[in-house]
Structure 1
Amino acid sequence: MKVTDVRLRKIQTHGRMKALVSITLDEAFVIHDLRVIEGNSGLFVAMPSKRTPDGEFRDIAHPINSVMRQEIQDAVMKVYDKTDEVIPDKNATSDNKESDEA
């Protein structure tokens, strides 16, 4: 399985989220709502997630091996590094989902 397309929108927030991302796998399957996060060790790609009733974030979709995770990370960061336009996010707050994921 290969990442065949990456759609990325850099956003300007006060939090650690730097971009929203959608990826296409094998030109056949799309995953929305990945995020580029500024973690303690630099930027990383967070998988789409939702908050559980106890406040924990659980991935909705994620790779099941390190090879696929690295391929996604590399493909997203390649596009992130080439994208200059930053869009102000009027709905973003400093307490975004990524706070528990770094």
Structure 2
Amino acid sequence: MKVTDVRLRKIQTDGRMKALVSITLDESFVIHDLRVIEGNSGLFVAMPSKRTPDGEFRDIAHPINSEMRQEIQDAVMKVYEETDEVIPAQNDENKDESESNAEA
């Protein structure tokens, strides 16, 4: 399985989230709501997640092997580095989520 398209919007916020991302796999399956996060060790790609009733975050979709995770990371970060336009954040609701996932 290959990442065949990356759509990325850099976001200007006070939080740790730096971009929202959608990826296409094998030109046939799209995954929305990946995020580029500024973690303690630098930028990383966080998978789409939702908050559980106890306040933790659970991935909705994620790779099951390190090779696919690395391919996604490499493809997203390549587009992130090539993207200059930054869009101002519309609200701060994503700030809490991105900070909670920064430890991932």
| TM > 0.5 fold call | yes
Secondary structure, in 3 states, of the residue corresponding to 1:22? Answer: strand
Partner residue in 2 for 1:12: 12
Alpha-carbon separation, structure 1, partners of 2:46 and 2:76: 11
Secondary structure, in 3 states, of the residue corresponding to 2:55? Answer: coil
1:15 touches 1:93 (CA, 8 Å); kept in 2?
no
Q: Which structure 1 segments of 5+ residues have no match? A: none
1:13 touches 1:93 (CA, 8 Å); kept in 2?
no
Q: Which structure 2 segments of 5+ residues have no match? A: none
Partner residue in 1 for 2:81: 81
The alpha carbon displacement at 1:100 in A equals 2.2
Partner residue in 1 for 2:29: 29
Distance 1:95 1:87, change over 3 A: closer
Secondary structure, in 3 states, of the residue corresponding to 1:27? Answer: coil
Which aligned segments of 4 or more residues in structure 1 are displaced greater than 2 angstroms?
92-96
**Cα RMSD, aligned residues only:** 1.1
Distance 1:94 1:71, change over 3 A: closer
1:21 touches 1:33 (CA, 8 Å); kept in 2?
yes
Secondary structure, in 3 states, of the residue corresponding to 1:87? Answer: strand
Alpha-carbon separation, structure 1, partners of 2:51 and 2:65: 23
Secondary structure, in 3 states, of the residue corresponding to 1:96? Answer: helix
1:14 touches 1:93 (CA, 8 Å); kept in 2?
no
2:17 touches 2:95 (CA, 8 Å); kept in 1?
no
The alpha carbon displacement at 1:96 in A equals 2.5
Q: Give the partner amino acid of 2:69.
A: R
Distance 1:38 1:28, change over 3 A: same
2:13 touches 2:95 (CA, 8 Å); kept in 1?
no
